[in-house]
Structure 1
Amino acid sequence: MMKNEMEYMMGLKVRIYPNRRQEKIFLKNINASRFVYNKLVANSWTDSPIYSNKLDKLYPIPEKYWKHNKNGKLLKSSAVRPTGLARITKDKYPWLGDKDIDSDMINNALVSYKSAWNLFRKVHNSGTPNFKRKSSPNQGYRTSNHYSSATVKKNGGFPSLYNGSIKFLDNKHIRLPKVGRIKVKLSRQLPTNQLVRIATVSIKHLPTGEWFVSFFVKKR
């Protein structure tokens, strides 16, 4: 199925009831998502193609830091300054390698950052991306769903709400990356269309202490 044949639909939001262990995992990912996003904002100008190229020409990476493959060929990426997520590595920030950190959360922080810049280019009065504050009343992060062909084939033969890495187990429970099975309360009936599938998911924590999950689903 071609991408332009898909109709996108938002609006599936459920309240969740995490236990203390699950809350701690959520909070780790919220803090990590904010950290990655803010790092990308802080590095905005030096990571821009124009500025980074100038730096590489004016202050080239010393040859002692260059890397070569097993055939002795230079890996070009080692001779230029890393940008974007390549600068925010687990080697530099070991806590990002915590077993509770969702790798899809990190990639989605980059997506949010790029979206903020795209909005600025289209609507200049929206302003450039700002730092996210820990004191902000609403906190959250976004992660992605994945479907394996083997699992899909075994469970219905097509991607659905029930056979991805993020899925509904029944009308009262869902499974999320890193936290596992978690209790939910539906505010509306689940779509009955068999071709509805989950794309991305946003986990939100409100000042009231409530937790919500918003599903970005797409259908034929």
Structure 2
Amino acid sequence: MNLIRQLTEKPWVPAQARIDDRHRGGTFRLPAKTVALRTFLAVVTVLFTLLVLSYGTRMEFEDWRPTPPLRLLWLNTGLLVLSSLAMQWAEVSARRGEIDGVRNGLLAGGACAVAFLGGQILAWRQLNMLAVFDVANPAIAFFFLITALHGLHLLGGLVAWGRTTAKAWRGSDVAQVRLSVELCTVYWHFLLLVWLVLFGLLFSGNDNLGVLLALCGLR
């Protein structure tokens, strides 16, 4: 009987059971919030990609007059870079369990983001006061559309940032806000990358954009 038991025994079953017990509870599953954010970023990427392609196609028409460069946008870009760096500081602090670093990083990141949005509004006013301003110019219309669409996405991110910051300042444990901080940081980095592409698109000139479209096989 012992010989039969040994022959029919499956030694891999207990080992597999131990592995299943160790990873029970969806260890390898991504949090629902992470999946939702990645899906949203994929949709936003498609949206801005279509916008860039439309911008490049519209430049081919004779009524296109490039938007004059605004120096204020360079300052705004620097503010968004600082905001992204501050959010990265908050994420690193969350991984280290440093709640003070999380709070300071969140506050600095949010303040720079709000300053960026304020700078964008000032850029609108500066463009509106220029003699070359003409809402019938498709370049001007695209400028308002691009900056407004990006600003709305950043404004939405500030809602999530506000909730995360409130949790951090209510005395919540770092572990309770770590995921929220990481997701906010990813979103901030994404919006910075999108803005850098849009910023280069707005002021790179027709020739540079034409080369890019040609490389992509779109011209």
| TM-score, normalisation: structure 2 | 0.29
Whose radius of gyration is greater, 1 or 2?
A: 2
Q: Which has the higher strand share?
A: 1
Q: Which has the higher helix share?
A: 2
